[in-house]
Amino acid sequence: MTGPVLWALLGHWRRNPLQLFTVLAGLALATALWSGVQAINAEARASYRLAADMLGAADRAQITTRAGGRVSVADYVALRRGGWRVTPVIEGRYDDIRILGIDPLTAPFGGSGLSEFTRADFGAFLTAPGLILGQAEVLERLRGKSLAGFETRPSMAPNTALMDIAVAQKLLEFDAGLTRLMVDPQQPLVQVPLGQIAPHLQLTTPQVGADVARLTGSFHLNLTAFGLLAFAVGIFVVHGAIGLAFEQRRGMIRTLRALGVPLRQLVVVQTLELLCLALVAGTVGMCGGYLMAAALLPDVAATLRGLYGADVSGSLHLRPAWWLSGFAIALLGTGLAAAAGLWQVLRMPLLAAAQSRAWALASRWAARWQAGAALALLALAAILAGFGTGLMAGFALLAALLVGAALALPLLLDQTLAVLGGRAKTATAGWFWADTRQQVPGLSLALMALLLAMAANIGVSTMVSSFRQTFVGFLDQRLAAELYVSAQNPGQAADLQRFLEARVDAVLPVQSVSRQLMGMPVAIYGNRPHATYRDNWQFLQAVPDVWQKIAEGKALIVNEQFFRRAGLQLGQELAIGPDHKRTNSLQIAGVYGDYGNPVGQVVIAERLFKQLYPEVVGQRFGLRLDPSQVSKLRLDLIERFDLPQRNVIDQAQIKALSLAVFERTFTVTAALNVLTLAVAGFAILMSLLTLAGLRLPQLAPVWALGMTRASLAKFEVLRAVILAAFTSLMALGLGLLLAWVLLAVINVEAFGWRLPMDVFPAQYARLGALALLAALLAALWPAWRLVRRSPADLLQVFSNER
């Protein structure tokens, strides 16, 4: 029995291919956007995991110098001879590739990096000229740069090359020292305490939360938010189309039952039908998502590398979990979109189905229910905004706000149009507003989709643009010096200072020490008092004359992360210094933004810093000088001190690089923006086309009363544009709210810093124009069809009317 019933039901789609297309395309788009974003995130996360797991570093304790320099080989040997099972690591960047030099003889055998390694020819790895392992693309970039042999390891962390420590040392021009020592979790019975062997070294247990994944979290959050919103937009489209199909098939359902098809059978077959649709659309969507992700991934990878130094594979891998989640989301979407329709079929009495109603939210009861739900959700959002804490509350706020606003939209439009209709002076105007108002229920789902798409656009682009603006400001603040130079050892640092003093306006040492303050890792910086800081640093909160107070050694400033996490107050005293004694308590005089940094920061005066931490020797310096002298001095320094190129960096260069990277981030968000908007435009087109057919009976009398088809068509277009314009206005408000939630709630909960929100009216205007254009284009086709309609069609309305 299933066969003929399914055939009859599917016949509906055969007879209404446009509707079928809407359902499939909407579902496929929703699936594609969602799964595409998921694919990008999954790829990036997999890359982080690989990178972190390289050498099993993710869960290993490490030994580094307290002062922040390199660990000497002598210290390493002293530790080994003191019974410590530690293994040396040299890590650096060569041509932006992460170079990992290891000692296979002492490396503890865990972590993906080493399992890669052990397959390699041990002898070749250890014996000159050595062996370099990495992904093919990485090895290609290293070709000719080292005498070592190459072996491809496709499953190794991206952008990473693994080699013997001797090979790495040569490649990175490390003349001495090690980046860090990794501590084997198993240590022998007899061991000399670390402090006794090398008091200047420190053991750090594996850091939770300071990894790349956390650092890049905000970026992925953006993508995820985008994917989710795009999905919601797509589901609104599908819901509209499926809802219409169910409505149009009510008569058929009744006939089928009258002909002896049991109700349960009907529901089963319809579920089956939806399953087929979901699978077809899901497959198409997954392919689309894959293509989208593959197209965007190189940009994403470049962004992440540039912004956070995170290595992400530029090519996409197909993961079974991803396929499953993609189909699951397609099924979920279909289920969400069709649940109401199926429920109605199930509850519909056999005979009552005969009368046809306007589809979707026509009844007063439904409207009242919807108003109640919208109000409840918006109230919930307000409560969450006021009292919610935690990331989950932030997401709940986001969801409540969006769904509440979407539900409220038709009611707000209805009220607005009622007011406008009441003020109409002419009969035509009165009819126009009343008729427009009548259209709202039919268009409401498409308009909701438009609202969400635009709000998502405004919200996310505001966030990204705000982030960009903040980031640029932050770069200016932090990269105020014209040239940055790093000495290779403390002796050279002193020589450098002497050499530079007479040649530049100011030498600003960058010196820091890592401490535990208030139970969290904090870097304490000693800044040399200078106008540079006063002129460039911006504070989120500060007392007057903050730099003066710091210079006097009476005050300190902290970054926002530390300020928020430790729950500090401006003016509060904070004990710093090695012994945490009261004598070293300083007043918190200011809080500054420090974007993308996972650890806390404290800045004090250089003089005080030297008193508290005499053992720390700053080896990095920011140099203030006439910008025209920069390149000359840079060459001088490289030549005179035999410094590697990367030790002397021109500020303009870093800024340009960072900004270029940021622009690439924009490519990604812009592409997603266009896609979501396209989905919404599509929804409007489909709704208008559908309505055009249903509207004939409404238009025919007006035509009969003497309005031309051309003017009717004009009104149809005008109506679509006006509805889109109202929706755009509301989307603007909602989008700004969304941006605020993302910046001030989600970001703070997730990362500990709040981004200042900037508004970008030109962007919004452009988006609004785009939305109106989309509505205009969408309305043109049905309008054109109306103009071309023969009078006989219109007349038929009267003869055929029930």
Partner 1 sequence: MNVKTVFILLWVCLIMPPIARAQGFADLGTSAQGFAVPQPDYKLRFPSDHGAHPAFRIEWWYLTANLTGPDQTEYGLQWTLFRTVLSQTSLLQAEDSGWNNGQLWMGHAAVTSPTAHFTAERLARGGIGQAGVTAVPFEAWIDDWVLEGTGSKTPLGAATLRASGIEFAYDMQLQARGPWVLHGQEGYSVKSADGRASHYYSQPFFDISGTLRLPQGVVPVTGQAWLDREWSSSPLAVSQTGWDWFSLSFAGGDKLMAFQVRDQAGRAFTSATWITANGRTTSFGNGALTVTPMHLTSVAGRKVPTQWRLQLEDKGLDIRIDALNPSAWMDVSLPYWEGPVRFTGTHTGRGYLEMTGYE
Partner 2 sequence: MLVSLRDVHKSYSEAAGRTDILCGVDMNLAAGETLALTGESGSGKSTLLHLIGGLDSADSGQVIIDGQALMALDDAALAGLRRTTVGVIFQQFNLIPSLNVADNIAFQARLSGRQDTARIADLVGRMGLEPHLHKYPEALSGGQQQRVAIARVLATAPKLVLADEPTGNLDEASAAVVLDLLLELVGETDAALLMVTHSTQLAARMGRRLHLQAGRLA
> Which positions lie near partner 2, rule CB under 8 A?
1, 3-5, 7-12, 14-15, 251-252, 254-265, 350-351
Q: Output the six-digit token pair for 508.
A: 């600003």
> Which residue in the set 17, 188, 320, 706 belongs to the binding site for partner 1 (CB under 8 A)?
188
How far is the C-alpha of 680 from the C-alpha of 443, rounded, in Å?
A: 12
106: contact with partner 1 by CB under 8 A: yes
> By the 8 A CB rule, do 742 and 463 touch?
yes
419: contact with partner 1 by CB under 8 A: no
- 3-state DSSP assignment of residue 362: coil
83: contact with partner 1 by CB under 8 A: yes
74: contact with partner 1 by CB under 8 A: yes
5 contact choice in partner 2, partner 1, none (CB below 5 to 8 Å, kind-dependent): partner 2
Query: Considering all CA atoms of the chain, what is the largest pairwise distance in Å, rounded to the nearest integer?
Result: 103
73 contact choice in partner 1, partner 2, none (CB below 5 to 8 Å, kind-dependent): partner 1
Total residues interacting with partner 1, rule: CB under 8 A: 33
Q: Which residue number, 190 or 208, has a Cβ lying nearer to partner 1?
A: 190
606: contact with partner 1 by CB under 8 A: no
Q: What is the CA radius of gyration of the chain?
A: 33
Q: Which residue number, 10 or 599, has a Cβ lying nearer to partner 2?
A: 10
Cβ 468 to partner 2, closest distance in Å?
A: 53
> By the 8 A CB rule, do 62 and 183 touch?
yes
Q: 3-class secondary structure for 9-27?
A: HHHHHHHCHHHHHHHHHHH
> By the 8 A CB rule, do 83 and 192 touch?
yes
Pairing mode of beta strands 512-517, 539-542: unpaired
777 contact choice in partner 2, partner 1, none (CB below 5 to 8 Å, kind-dependent): none
* Backbone torsions φ then ψ of 500, nearest 5 degrees: -80, -30
Cβ 201 to partner 1, closest distance in Å?
A: 16
Q: Which residue number, 350 or 429, has a Cβ lying nearer to partner 2?
A: 350
> By the 8 A CB rule, do 396 and 376 touch?
no
How far is the C-alpha of 738 from the C-alpha of 374, rounded, in Å?
A: 16
- Of 118-126, 138-146, 391-399, 497-505, which part binds partner 1 (CB under 8 A)? 118-126
> Which residues have a Cβ under 8 Å from the Cβ of 566 and sit 6 or more positions away?
517, 518, 520, 600
Per DSSP, 743 falls in state I
N- to C-terminal Cα separation, the chain: 32
Nearest CA to 282 among 454, 502, 34?
Answer: 34
Nearest CA to 508 among 605, 614, 591?
Answer: 605
Q: Which residue number, 252 or 472, has a Cβ lying nearer to partner 2?
A: 252
How far is the C-alpha of 680 from the C-alpha of 237, rounded, in Å?
A: 8
256 contact choice in partner 2, partner 1, none (CB below 5 to 8 Å, kind-dependent): partner 2
Q: Which residue number, 165 or 245, has a Cβ lying nearer to partner 1?
A: 165
147 contact choice in partner 1, partner 2, none (CB below 5 to 8 Å, kind-dependent): none
- 3-state DSSP assignment of residue 524: strand
> Which residue in the set 118, 428, 569, 698 belongs to the binding site for partner 1 (CB under 8 A)?
118
Instruction: Give residue for tokens 């990794």.
Output: 182
Cβ 66 to partner 1, closest distance in Å?
A: 23
Instruction: Give residue for tokens 């004359």.
Output: 545
Q: Which residue number, 4 or 372, has a Cβ lying nearer to partner 2?
A: 4
Mark out the alpha helices in 359-426 (DSSP H runs). 364-387, 391-422
Nearest CA to 466 among 180, 742, 775?
Answer: 742
165 contact choice in partner 1, partner 2, none (CB below 5 to 8 Å, kind-dependent): partner 1
386: contact with partner 1 by CB under 8 A: no
Pairing mode of beta strands 520-527, 600-605: parallel
How far is the C-alpha of 579 from the C-alpha of 119, rounded, in Å?
A: 48
491 contact choice in partner 2, partner 1, none (CB below 5 to 8 Å, kind-dependent): none
628 contact choice in partner 1, partner 2, none (CB below 5 to 8 Å, kind-dependent): none
781: contact with partner 1 by CB under 8 A: no
CB atoms within 10 A of CB 505: 14
127: contact with partner 1 by CB under 8 A: yes
Q: Which residue number, 117 or 236, has a Cβ lying nearer to partner 1?
A: 117
Cβ 353 to partner 2, closest distance in Å?
A: 11
Cβ 255 to partner 2, closest distance in Å?
A: 4
Cβ 282 to partner 2, closest distance in Å?
A: 24
Nearest CA to 397 among 30, 91, 741?
Answer: 741
Cβ 308 to partner 1, closest distance in Å?
A: 31
* Backbone torsions φ then ψ of 291, nearest 5 degrees: -60, -40
631: contact with partner 1 by CB under 8 A: no
For residue 241, the number of C-alpha atoms closer than 13 Å in the C-beta half-sphere is 30
708: contact with partner 1 by CB under 8 A: no
Q: Which residue number, 147 or 352, has a Cβ lying nearer to partner 2?
A: 352
119 contact choice in partner 1, partner 2, none (CB below 5 to 8 Å, kind-dependent): partner 1
Q: Which residue number, 90 or 723, has a Cβ lying nearer to partner 1?
A: 90
> Which residue in the set 1, 128, 258, 350 belongs to the binding site for partner 1 (CB under 8 A)?
128
How far is the C-alpha of 559 from the C-alpha of 601, rounded, in Å?
A: 5
> By the 8 A CB rule, do 287 and 31 touch?
no
286: contact with partner 1 by CB under 8 A: no
Q: Which residue number, 350 or 674, has a Cβ lying nearer to partner 2?
A: 350
- 3-state DSSP assignment of residue 741: helix
* Backbone torsions φ then ψ of 208, nearest 5 degrees: -95, 130
Strands across the sheet containing 620-624: 506-510, 620-624, 483-486, 648-650
164: contact with partner 1 by CB under 8 A: yes
How far is the C-alpha of 371 from the C-alpha of 328, rounded, in Å?
A: 31
187: contact with partner 1 by CB under 8 A: yes
- Of 111-119, 360-368, 394-402, 695-703, which part binds partner 1 (CB under 8 A)? 111-119
Q: Which residue number, 76 or 471, has a Cβ lying nearer to partner 1?
A: 76
Cβ 16 to partner 2, closest distance in Å?
A: 8
> Which residue in the set 1, 105, 352, 518 belongs to the binding site for partner 1 (CB under 8 A)?
105
Q: Which residue number, 253 or 513, has a Cβ lying nearer to partner 2?
A: 253
> Which residue in the set 2, 7, 11, 73 belongs to the binding site for partner 1 (CB under 8 A)?
73
How far is the C-alpha of 435 from the C-alpha of 716, rounded, in Å?
A: 10
Site string for partner 1, 29-68 (x = CB under 8 A): ----------------------------------------
β-pair partners for 601:
523
110 contact choice in partner 1, partner 2, none (CB below 5 to 8 Å, kind-dependent): none
β-pair partners for 131:
149
- Of 71-79, 222-230, 369-377, 475-483, which part binds partner 1 (CB under 8 A)? 71-79
- Angle between helix 391-422 and helix 709-740 axes, rounded to 10 deg: 150
Q: Which residue number, 103 or 495, has a Cβ lying nearer to partner 1?
A: 103
Question: Which residues contact partner 1 (rule: CB under 8 A)?
Answer: 73-74, 76-77, 80-83, 103-106, 109, 115, 118-119, 121-123, 126-128, 164-166, 169, 186-192
